[in-house]
């Protein structure tokens, strides 16, 4: 029987699933820095640093760019619970598991939720979304950018303009894409967006970067409330319905992240350090270089999988560069292969959910793990695990194909 008093010493893993991934050692080092009081001038400077770095990461000039303490879902809930008043009409285009999540959270906010759905492995053309917006007249459209359950990325460049034409706000869940592919908040006219650290940003789960514009500020200000114990003299609450969550109340979070520093919660110091370092690392590399690295890993991985005789899942024109879906071959026990990868090679890849459960594996090439050696090791291990189970994979073909992609890229530079 395990001894709960033993020192923590987990076996090392190479996390090549859809997230979380292995944190960058620089992020872990940042998390070990000394704790500070939440109103210490050093700490509030770090808060301001985070706001500035996240603006560059999100490609926005929004002032309100900050952290919500909690995993990526905390950022989703903060945006939706603050934006959605009971009875509001919300439209959610669903192309995977996490669209269903947005719809559920909106229902919990007592919204009138309308959904449109497409087959898992596909995305929506913009005209289909505009038609739904025209029919349902929502106050808010909530959409996932990259849904790791299907490995597909919904194009967003036209969706913001559609929402503006029809007087709707646009919320985007970029948990799986921020830092791994283009997320152009201002040019795409996204009103509110949230993410997490544990995927392309190479950090641990536990902090959710969000940003929102003045259209959102005007909406949530109508619902502003401040706790009685910290309420400033002369405070006048908004005339809208109170936001249902105290912890995820955007106007109170804004007061905390403003020069007023009106106390709301105790900021998660180590997670703020992590978020600062995650953003700094991506921006130091450069957004375009970071996106290109993810695209190259995707090309190498898919070349290797195809050379192994495996079939890729979904519409490859809209595949996420940081997660690849691959169909489990007929007659192969997909869970036995995953177990072999974990137990024999120390590598984790993902299964999937809903209609794709048992049908595909999901292999992540994200952030710190998005490197040539990890792609090659994962392919070699997968090939060995498959051959152990009778799948006829040509020995070395996958690694050779992936190496060829990397070598061509190196020669072109």
pLDDT value, residue 40: 95
Q: Are 409 and 372 a contacting pair, CB within 8 Å?
A: no
Render pLDDT for 178-233 as a digit per residue (tens, 0 to 9). Answer: 999 999 999 999 999 999 999 999 999 999 999 999 999 999 999 999 999 999 88
Burial class (CB in 10 A: 0-12, 13-18, 19+), 149: buried
* pLDDT at 85 exceeding the cut of 90: yes
Asked if residues 343 and 8 have their Cβ atoms less than 8 Å apart, the reply is no
Question: How many Å apart are CA 123 and CA 119, to the nearest integer?
Answer: 8
* Res. 2 pLDDT band, cuts 50 70 90: confident
pLDDT computed for residue 394 by the predictor: 86
Q: What does the pLDDT average to over 10-16?
A: 96
Burial of 61 (0-12, 13-18, 19+ CB in 10 A): exposed
Asked whether residue 413 carries a pLDDT value surpassing 80, the answer given is no
Domains of the chain: 24-282 (3.40.640.10), 287-412 (3.90.1150.10)
Q: Are 315 and 123 in contact (CB under 8 A)?
A: yes
Within 10 A of 373 (CB to CB), how many other CB atoms are there? 8
Query: Which tens digits make up the pLDDT trace of 131-186?
Result: 999 999 999 999 999 999 999 999 999 999 999 999 999 999 999 999 999 999 99
Convert the pLDDT of each residue in 90-142 to its tens digit.
999 999 999 999 999 999 999 999 999 999 999 999 999 999 999 999 999 99
Q: Which residues face 127 on adjacent strands? A: none
Q: Tens digit of pLDDT for each residue in 291-346? A: 999 999 999 999 999 999 999 999 999 999 999 999 999 999 999 999 999 999 99
Mean local confidence (pLDDT), 269-286: 98
Distance (Å, rounded) from C-alpha 47 to C-alpha 307? Answer: 48
CA distance 298 to 302: 6
Q: Read off the pLDDT of residues 20-64 as tens digits, 9 standing for 90 and up.
A: 999 999 999 999 999 999 999 999 999 999 999 999 999 999 999
User: Average pLDDT in the 229-255 region?
Assistant: 94
What's 65-91 look like in SS3? EEEEECCHHHHHHHHHHHHCCCCCEEE
Q: What does the pLDDT read at residue 365? A: 98
pLDDT at residue number 74:
98
3-class DSSP string for the chain: CCCCCCCCCCCCCEECCCCCCCCCHHHHHHHCCCCCCCCCHHHHHHHHHHHHHHHHHHCCCCCEEEEEECCHHHHHHHHHHHHCCCCCEEEEEECCHHHHHHHHHHHHCCCEEEEEECCECECCCHHHHHHHHHHHCCCEEEEECEECCCCEECCCCCHHHHHHHCCCEEEEECCCCECCECCCCCCCCCCEEECCCCCCCCCCCCEEEEEECHHHHHHHHCCCCCCHHHCCCCCCCCCCCCCCCCCCCHHHHHHHHCCCCCCCCCCCHHHHHHHHHHHHHHHHHCHHHHHHHHHHHHHHHHHHHHHCCCCECCCHHHECCCEEEEECCCCCCHHHHHHHHHHHHCEECECCCHHHCCCEEEEECCHHHCCHHHHHHHHHHHHHHHHHCCCCCCCCHHHHHHHHHHHHHHHHC
What's the pTM? 0.97
Q: Which residue has the tokens 């919904």?
A: 154
Phi-psi region of 394 (alpha: psi -120 to 50; beta: other; left: phi over 0): beta
Could you give the CA distance from residue 204 to residue 251 in angstroms, rounded to a whole number?
26
* pLDDT recorded at residue 312: 98
Residue 404 pLDDT grade (very low, low, confident, very high; cuts 50, 70, 90): very high
Instruction: List pLDDT tens digits, range 366-396.
Output: 999 999 999 999 999 999 999 999 998 889 9
Q: What is the pLDDT of residues 352-364, one digit of tens each?
A: 989 999 999 999 9
Residues 6+ apart with CB under 8 A from 385: 337, 340, 341, 344, 345
- CA neighbor of 363 nearest in space, from 343, 382, 345, 385: 382
CB neighbourhood size of 128 (10 A): 13
User: Residue 411 phi/psi, 5° resolution?
Assistant: -70, -35
């Amino acid at each position: 029987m395990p001894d709960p008093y033993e020192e923590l010493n987990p076996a090392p893993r190479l996390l090549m699933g859809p997230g979380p991934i292995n944190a960058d050692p620089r992020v872990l080092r940042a998390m070990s820095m000394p704790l500070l009081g939440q109103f210490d001038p050093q700490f509030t400077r770090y808060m301001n640093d985070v706001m500035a770095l996240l603006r560059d990461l999100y490609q926005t000039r929004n002032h309100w760019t900050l952290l919500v303490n909690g995993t990526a879902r905390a950022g989703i809930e903060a945006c939706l619970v603050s934006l959605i008043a009971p009875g509001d009409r919300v439209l959610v285009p669903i192309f995977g598991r996490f669209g269903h999540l947005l719809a559920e959270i909106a229902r919990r906010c007592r919204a009138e939720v309308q959904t449109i759905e497409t087959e898992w492995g596909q995305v929506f053309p913009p005209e289909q979304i505009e038609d739904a917006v025209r029919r349902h007249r929502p106050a808010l459209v909530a959409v996932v950018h990259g849904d790791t359950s299907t490995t597909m990325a919904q194009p967003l460049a036209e969706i913001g303009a559609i929402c503006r034409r029809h007087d709707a706000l646009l919320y985007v869940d970029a948990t799986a894409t921020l830092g791994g592919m283009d997320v152009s908040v201002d040019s795409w006219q996204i009103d509110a967006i949230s993410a997490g650290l544990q995927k392309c940003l190479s950090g641990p789960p536990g902090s959710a970067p969000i940003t929102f514009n003045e259209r959102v500020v005007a909406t949530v200000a109508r619902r502003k409330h401040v706790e009685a114990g910290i309420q400033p003299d002369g405070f006048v609450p908004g005339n809208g319905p109170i936001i249902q969550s105290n912890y995820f109340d955007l106007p109170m979070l804004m007061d905390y992240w403003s020069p007023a520093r009106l106390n709301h919660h105790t900021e998660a110091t180590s997670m703020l350090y992590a978020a600062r370092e995650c953003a700094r690392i991506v921006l130091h590399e450069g957004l375009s270089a970071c996106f290109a690295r993810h695209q190259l890993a995707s090309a190498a991985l898919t070349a290797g999988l195809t050379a192994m005789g495996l079939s890729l899942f979904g519409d490859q024109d809209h595949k996420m560069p940081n997660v690849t879906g691959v169909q489990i071959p007929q007659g192969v026990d997909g869970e036995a292969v995953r177990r072999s990868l974990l137990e024999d090679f120390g590598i984790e890849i993902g299964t999937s959910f809903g209609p794709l459960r048992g049908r595909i594996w999901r292999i992540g090439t994200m952030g710190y793990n998005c490197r040539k050696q990890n792609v090659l090791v994962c392919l070699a291990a997968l090939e060995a695990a498959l051959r152990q189970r009778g799948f006829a994979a040509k020995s070395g073909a996958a690694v050779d194909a992936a190496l060829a992609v990397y070598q061509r890229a190196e020669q072109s530079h």
